[in-house]
Amino acid sequence: MLGFCVARKEAPMKTLAGYRRLAPGTQPAHLHLPYVSSAKRAPTQSLVQMPHTLSEITGPVFTSRIVGDACIDLTRQHSGEPLGERIILSGKVIDEDGRPLPNTLIEIWQANAAGRYFHSVDLHNAPLDPNFTGRGHVLTDAEGHYRFVTIRPGEYPWRNHYNAWRPAHVHFSVFGPAFATRLITQMYFPGDPLLEFDPVYNCTADEPARRRLISLFDWQTTIPEEALGYRFDIVLRGRDATPMEGCS
């Protein structure tokens, strides 16, 4: 990845590094035929490779003024408590160099305990829960930590192939410091027997990379007589160490 120079009349040149290219195999290709709906939606032409510019190394800087108060307890958004197994979902957002990423926006959404989403296009005949919307958001703290209280989502059927079922998962949307670091992913649960059959989970060639989508059961965050803890750490792209030569 090339670096970047900012030129301005009234100040000396300043060189900024771009973000590192993603390790081969650790990210899904756009076309993954076992995931049927990728066939008509994945581009067919090669992507045009380009270095990062100021447009990609900047990105929206969210503040609590913009995103509103954090919504970290998904079990207290209605008059009653949702059905299901209460869990603590926590972790840390870092970059590929291990640096914590503070003040980064995380948005999550998930199905209820019966495997039904609070969404008009979800026609699965499992019940909706009037006490569960399945939406949360938070800005990471100064050390990059986040924590949600929610319920364990249910598995659910979908129509990708005969007898297709999605493993239990929580959707995560994360911004990081730049347009280049934007990530949307899904977090899974350890020991889920559906993982090996799921074309979405299996879309990434590299097995260790896939396995990092599985949260870890965590005694440290488990609250006695209250909720089981799961830990899910998120890594965003690291900074390129070598800015482009010849900028000055």
Partner 1 sequence: MFVGMGYQATTSQTVGPYFMIGLEPLNRDQIAAADIGGERINIEGQVLDGDGQPVPDAVLETWQANEEGRYIHPEDLQGESGGEGFFGFGRIPTDAEGRFRFTTVKPGPVPAPDGGTQGPHIVVSVFMRGLLTRLITRIYFFGDPHNEKDFVLNLVDPARRGTLMAKPTDEDKSVLVWNVNLQGENETVFFDC
Q: With respect to partner 1, which residue has the nearer C-beta, 169 or 227?
A: 169
CB nearer to partner 1: give 177 or 229. Answer: 177
Gap between the Cα atoms of 61 and 80, Å rounded: 35
Q: For CA atoms 202, 23, 181, 50, give the dihedral sign.
A: negative
Q: Is 182 a catalytic residue?
A: no
Told to check if 67 binds partner 1 by CB under 8 A, we report: yes
The stretch near partner 1 (CB under 8 A) out of 78-86, 144-152, 175-183, 221-229 is: 175-183
Is residue 147 helix, strand or coil? strand
Only one of the segments 76-84, 140-148, 209-217, 221-229 lies at the binding site for partner 1 (rule: CB under 8 A); that segment is 209-217
Q: Which residues ranging from 118 to 157 are in contact with partner 1 (CB under 8 A)?
A: 118-119, 121-122, 133-137
Query: Catalytic residue among 116, 137, 166, 237, which?
Result: 166
Does position 182 bind partner 1 by CB under 8 A?
yes
Tell me: does residue 173 bind partner 1 (CB under 8 A): yes
CB 81 within 8 A of CB 132: no
DSSP string, 77-97: SSSSPPSS-EEEEEEEEEETT
Pick from 70, 83, 86, 96: which binds partner 1 (CB under 8 A)? 96
Active site residue 35: no
Residue 191 or 224 having the CB closest to partner 1: 191
Q: Helix, strand or coil for residue 128? A: coil
Q: Tell me, yes or no, if 32 is annotated catalytic.
A: no
Q: Select from 6, 64, 78, 81 the one that contacts partner 1 (CB under 8 A).
A: 6
DSSP state of 19: B
Residue type at 46? S
Asked if 18 and 240 count as a contact pair (C-beta separation under 8 A), the reply is yes
Interstrand relation of 169-174 and 105-110 (parallel, antiparallel or unpaired) = antiparallel
Minimum distance of partner 1 from residue 225's CB (angstroms): 27
Alpha-carbon distance of 137 to 71, in angstroms, equals 5
Q: Which is nearer to partner 1, 127 or 226 (CB)?
A: 127
Taken in order 30, 34, 38, 43, is the CA torsion positive or negative?
A: positive
Q: Check binding of 7 to partner 1 (CB under 8 A).
A: yes
Indicate the helix (H) or strand (E) that contains 65. Answer: helix 64-67
Per-residue x/- track, 37-66, partner 1 (CB under 8 A): xxxxxxxxx-xxxxxxxxxxxxxxx----x
Q: Which of 87, 195, 213, 227 binds partner 1 (CB under 8 A)?
A: 213
Contact 150, 215 (CB under 8 A): no
Number of residues located near partner 1, criterion CB under 8 A:
97
Q: Which residues are catalytic?
A: 117, 156, 166, 169, 171
